[in-house]
Amino acid sequence: MKIIIAADLAPTNLNESLFINGKSEVLIDEDLYMKWFSSDIRIFNLETPITNNPKPILKNGPNLIAKEKTVNGIVKLKPSLVCLANNHIMDQDYEGLKNTISLLDKHKLPHIGASNNLFNAKQPYIYDDGEKKIGIYNCAEHEFGIAEENIPGANPFDPLTSLDDIQELSKQVDYTIVIYHGGKEYYRYPSPYLQKVCRRMVDKGADFVVTQHSHCIGAKEVYNGKTIVYGQGNFLFNYEHKLDDEFWNNGMLIEIDLADNSPIINYIPYLSTKEGVRLANDIESKHILKGFDERSEQIKKPGFIDNEYTKFAQKHIHNYLVSLSGQSKWIRRIDRRVFKGKLTKWYFSKKKLLSIYNFIECEAHRELLVFGTKLNIYENKN
């Protein structure tokens, strides 16, 4: 049995017509097409709702949407399973999610990771060919559109319940896969917390864990004999302004061969074209996998993950503080271009930083901050 896992798919203006006309042989080139269809199970993450009726939710960041007829291209790719647990599947509110699910059901495409309530959203998928049972669990970080007890949305990762869900699934199947939509965009390494989460999933019975959402190829590690992949790049997510972006345009399929008792995992690099993706040639593949292997060796070194994340945090914390300060667009520009960020540093005294740190770090403060902020957002929708 061969399983192929691809990452994020979202029809865009560049390839919308190809999806609408079901041109799967153009969306993925002939060589990649053969690899894709050589597998028994094909999985990808659908990063957008599919609907003709825009109903954008209140959120920070873009509200993605794809036309209903783009489902034709998805059907032609013949996925065995479509994952929906991500930070965009509720971008067009419940109507968008409901329409997406309806279209997938109409074309008999199995899906997991999002539904009308938390109980249904967290249900795993079990593939049974009569010889082996493969269990797949799909969840996402908390970033808008998360399901709750009586609220539709994506299945959230909750350390108090999700790990138990994985453990229960692993008791029912021969091989357990967790597809986790999380991690920081454009960061090639696991954060200290992300590594803890993924390792704990393995402790609870996951045989293979892959994180998506980072839009770049990251690193891998073998933990207690099981493989964790931190980022595999995009699948079909083509943008004109990203054509020269190596992070965005390099991706890889993950092939898991379960023919024997010991699984064989292969990584199949590809590159984005203007409209789709193509299999990487030998030189490109060697370059992509070399970087992947080098990063995988780096994260084995004691202290590397903490040190690398410290540098990443130092580089990006200013952007977060600017957002928290409430500065206008023009003040931000003046601060960045004229004062080199010194105004923001002056504004956030050590006392203010300590307050922010306490509100986020302390569980009781953070819970109240999240609930109170949410109430204010929806009380003042305009």
310 falls within a domain: no
309 falls within a domain: no
| CATH number reported for the structural domain that contains residue 232 in this entry | 3.60.21.10
330 falls within a domain: yes
Same domain, 140 and 227: yes
Range of the domain at 368: 315-379
73 falls within a domain: yes
Q: Measuring CA to CA, how many Å separate 185 from each of 45, 178, 191, 378?
A: 16, 19, 11, 27
Q: What is the pLDDT of residue 230?
A: 98
> In the structure, what pLDDT confidence band is assigned to residue 341 with cuts at 50, 70 and 90?
confident
307 falls within a domain: no
Q: Distance between CA 249 and CA 272 in Å, rounded? A: 5
Which of 265, 300, 335 lies at the terminal end of a domain, its last residue?
A: 300
- Burial level of 245, CB count in 10 A (0-12/13-18/19+)? middle
368 falls within a domain: yes
308 falls within a domain: no
Same domain, 91 and 171: yes
Same domain, 161 and 79: yes
Q: What is the pLDDT of residue 333?
A: 84
Same domain, 360 and 252: no
Mean pLDDT of 27-41: 96
Q: Taking 70 as the threshold, does the pLDDT of residue 324 lie above it?
A: yes
Q: Taking 60 as the threshold, does the pLDDT of residue 382 lie above it?
A: no
Q: What is the mean pLDDT of the chain?
A: 95
> Does residue 44 contact residue 79 with C-beta atoms inside 8 Å?
yes
Same domain, 228 and 92: yes
Same domain, 363 and 296: no
pLDDT digits (tens, 9 = 90+) for 207-233: 999 999 999 999 999 999 999 999 999
Q: At what angle do helices 162-172 and 192-203 cross, to 10 degrees?
A: 40
Nearest residue to 240 (alpha-carbon basis) of 270, 275, 190: 275
The number of folded domains in the chain is: 2
Same domain, 90 and 168: yes
Same domain, 296 and 332: no
Which of 300, 326, 361 lies at the terminal end of a domain, its last residue?
A: 300
b vs e for 339-368, b when ≥16 Cβ sit within 10 Å of the residue's Cβ? eeeebbeeebeeeeeeeeeeeeeeeeeeee
User: Which residues are bridge partners to 175 per DSSP?
Assistant: 134
Q: Distance between CA 24 and CA 71 in Å, rounded? A: 11
> In the structure, what pLDDT confidence band is assigned to residue 377 with cuts at 50, 70 and 90?
confident
Same domain, 27 and 174: yes
47 falls within a domain: yes
Which of 300, 324, 358 lies at the terminal end of a domain, its last residue?
A: 300
Q: Taking 80 as the threshold, does the pLDDT of residue 203 lie above it?
A: yes
Same domain, 231 and 367: no
pLDDT digits (tens, 9 = 90+) for 75-105: 999 999 999 999 999 999 999 999 999 999 9
| Residue 262, number of CB atoms within 10 A of its CB | 8
Q: Taking 90 as the threshold, does the pLDDT of residue 308 lie above it?
A: yes
Q: What is the pLDDT of residue 374?
A: 87
Nearest residue to 181 (alpha-carbon basis) of 152, 205, 145: 145
Q: Taking 80 as the threshold, does the pLDDT of residue 132 lie above it?
A: yes
113-127, 200-214, 266-280, 329-343: lowest mean pLDDT where?
329-343
> In the structure, what pLDDT confidence band is assigned to residue 380 with cuts at 50, 70 and 90?
low
Same domain, 331 and 203: no
| Residue 161, number of CB atoms within 10 A of its CB | 13
Q: Taking 60 as the threshold, does the pLDDT of residue 381 lie above it?
A: no
Same domain, 287 and 368: no
> Does residue 267 contact residue 252 with C-beta atoms inside 8 Å?
yes
- Burial level of 2, CB count in 10 A (0-12/13-18/19+)? middle
Q: Taking 80 as the threshold, does the pLDDT of residue 123 lie above it?
A: yes
